[in-house]
Amino acid sequence: MIVKVVSFLTGVSLLALGLASCDDTTGSCKEQTANHLSIGFYTAYKSGSRWVAKDSSLATIVVKGTGKDSVLYNTKSIKTINLPLSQLSDTTKFVVTINSTLTDTFCAVYKRSLVFISYKCGYRTNFNIEKLDIKPQTPFDSIVITHPNVSDVTYENCKIYLKPAAGSTL
């Protein structure tokens, strides 16, 4: 009889220890689960015989996702924006309005990959940028992909160069 009680208490103790060591799946996720495309704005200036890039601020910018009612940005004097990419498609388009008058469509083409974070957080979608399109008829001159991998590491993924004012020098 004593052997059965000791065996029972040992079993209950081991079960209690096992449950106590389990990860708490009801807690909140402390990991970053959404990745955003980080874009910096620059202007190229002529310095002697070379062109030099300089951080630039946009006076005002409004950014919306195409087919969406929500405004992602509506701000003044900004040098960098962070845009969400679609987890359901390999293309995301944005409508960008600068200084309330100049409007352009910006298109990001990418490949998606799911990365398991944890039971609490679930999955995160990482993106690999393949192509970015803008129309150079606007104040945008060109766009350069600097870090194509959009993941949990915060990098400036691309640089949009603004057209310099006529006769601009550094």
In-domain check, residue 124:
yes
pLDDT over threshold 90, residue 111: yes
Domain count across the chain: 1
In-domain check, residue 1:
no
Per the model's pLDDT, the better-predicted residue between 65 and 14 turns out to be: 65
The pLDDT mean for the chain works out to: 78
Question: Which whole-number Å values give the CA distances from 59 to 49, 70, 111, 112, in the listed order?
Answer: 29, 21, 32, 33
Binning pLDDT at 50, 70 and 90, where does residue 92 land?
very high
CB neighbour class for 150 (10 Å; exposed up to 12, middle 13-18, buried from 19): buried
In-domain check, residue 64:
yes
In-domain check, residue 47:
yes
Average pLDDT over every residue of 4-27 = 51
Pairing type for strands 58-65 and 91-98 reads antiparallel
In-domain check, residue 12:
no
- Please, what's the b/e burial string for 71-106 (b: 16 or more CB within 10 A of its CB; e: otherwise)? ebbeeeeeeebbbebeeeeeebbbbbbbeeeeebeb
Domain with 77, as residue range(s), is: 29-162
pTM of full prediction above 0.75: no
Give the number of other CB atoms < 10 A from CB of residue 63.
19
pLDDT over threshold 70, residue 108: yes
pLDDT over threshold 90, residue 113: yes
In-domain check, residue 168:
no
Average pLDDT over every residue of 154-158 = 88
Pairing type for strands 122-133 and 102-118 reads antiparallel
In-domain check, residue 150:
yes
In-domain check, residue 153:
yes
Average pLDDT over every residue of 146-153 = 88
